[in-house]
Structure 1
Amino acid sequence: MLQVRLANTLDGGDFGWLKARHHFRVTPEGNPANAPLGPLIVWNDDEIAPGTGFGLHGHANMEIVTYVREGAVTHRDSTGNVGITSAGDVQVMSAGTGIRHSEHNLGQEPLRLFQIWLRPSREGNKPRWNTRRFPKADRGNKFTLLASGFPEDSDALPIQADAHVLGATLLAGSEIKYTLGGFRYAYLAPARGTVRVNDQRIGVGDGIGASDEAHLRIKAEEDAEIVLVVAK
Structure 2
Amino acid sequence: MITVRKAEERGRGHYGWLNTHYSFSFANYYDPRFMGVSALRVINDDIIAPGAGFDTHGHRDMEIITYVTSGVIAHKDSVGNVTELPAGEFQLMSAGSGIRHSEFNARQDQELTLLQIWIEPNQFGGKPGYQQKAFGMRNGLHEVITPDGRDGTLKIKQDARLLHLLLQPNETAEMILGKQRIAYVQLIKGKLKLNDIELKPGDGGAVQRIEQLVFASCDEAVEAIVFDLPPHA
TM class, shorter-chain normalised? Answer: over 0.9
| 8 Å Cα contact 2:180/2:208 also seen in 1 | no
Equivalent in the alignment of 1:195: 192
2:46 is the counterpart of 1:49? no
Q: 1:28 to 1:101 in 2, by over 3 A?
A: closer
Match runs of 1:106-145 below 5 Å: 106-107=106-107, 108-136=109-137, 139-140=138-139, 142-145=140-143
1:38: Cα distance to partner? 1.1
Equivalent in the alignment of 2:92: 92
1:92: Cα distance to partner? 0.5
Equivalent in the alignment of 1:228: 226
Over the aligned positions, Cα root-mean-square deviation in angstroms equals 1.5
In the alignment, which of 184, 201, 206 is matched to residue 204 of structure 1?
201
1:29: Cα distance to partner? 5.2
- The alignment's TM-score, normalised by the length of structure 2, stands at 0.93
Equivalent in the alignment of 1:71: 71
- The alignment's TM-score, normalised by the length of structure 1, stands at 0.93
Letter in 2 for 1:96: G
Report the Cα distance in structure 1 between the residues aligned to 2:66 and 2:133, rounded to whole angstroms.
Answer: 11
| 8 Å Cα contact 2:11/2:29 also seen in 1 | no
Q: 1:61 to 1:183 in 2, by over 3 A?
A: farther
Report the Cα distance in structure 1 between the residues aligned to 2:23 and 2:12, rounded to whole angstroms.
Answer: 9
2:215 is the counterpart of 1:218? yes
Report the Cα distance in structure 2 between the residues aligned to 1:209 and 1:24, rounded to whole angstroms.
Answer: 12
| 8 Å Cα contact 1:150/1:162 also seen in 2 | no
Q: 1:194 to 1:122 in 2, by over 3 A?
A: same
Over residues 59-107 of structure 1, what are the superposed CA-to-partner deviations in whole Å (9 max), with x where a residue is unaligned? 0000001111111111100011111111111000000000000111011
Report the Cα distance in structure 2 between the residues aligned to 1:24 and 1:170, rounded to whole angstroms.
Answer: 26
1:50: Cα distance to partner? 0.8
3-state SS, counterpart of residue 152 of structure 2:
coil
- Paired residue total: 228
Letter in 1 for 2:76: R
Q: 1:206 to 1:123 in 2, by over 3 A?
A: same
1:154: Cα distance to partner? 3.8
Report the Cα distance in structure 1 between the residues aligned to 2:82 and 2:117, rounded to whole angstroms.
Answer: 20
Report the Cα distance in structure 2 between the residues aligned to 1:197 and 1:148, rounded to whole angstroms.
Answer: 22
In the alignment, which of 157, 163, 169 is matched to residue 160 of structure 1?
157
Report the Cα distance in structure 1 between the residues aligned to 2:148 and 2:24, rounded to whole angstroms.
Answer: 25
Letter in 2 for 1:220: S
| 8 Å Cα contact 1:5/1:34 also seen in 2 | no
1:183: Cα distance to partner? 6.4
3-state SS, counterpart of residue 8 of structure 2:
helix
| 8 Å Cα contact 1:196/1:219 also seen in 2 | yes
Q: 1:74 to 1:182 in 2, by over 3 A?
A: farther
Letter in 1 for 2:184: Y
Structure 1 alignment gaps of length 5 or more: none
Match runs of 1:21-40 below 5 Å: 21-26=21-26, 30-40=30-40
Report the Cα distance in structure 2 between the residues aligned to 1:76 and 1:162, rounded to whole angstroms.
Answer: 28
Letter in 2 for 1:130: Q
Between stretches 164-173 and 177-186, larger displacement belongs to 177-186
Over residues 131-166 of structure 1, what are the superposed CA-to-partner deviations in whole Å (9 max), with x where a residue is unaligned? 111210xx21x1111111224x14101111111111
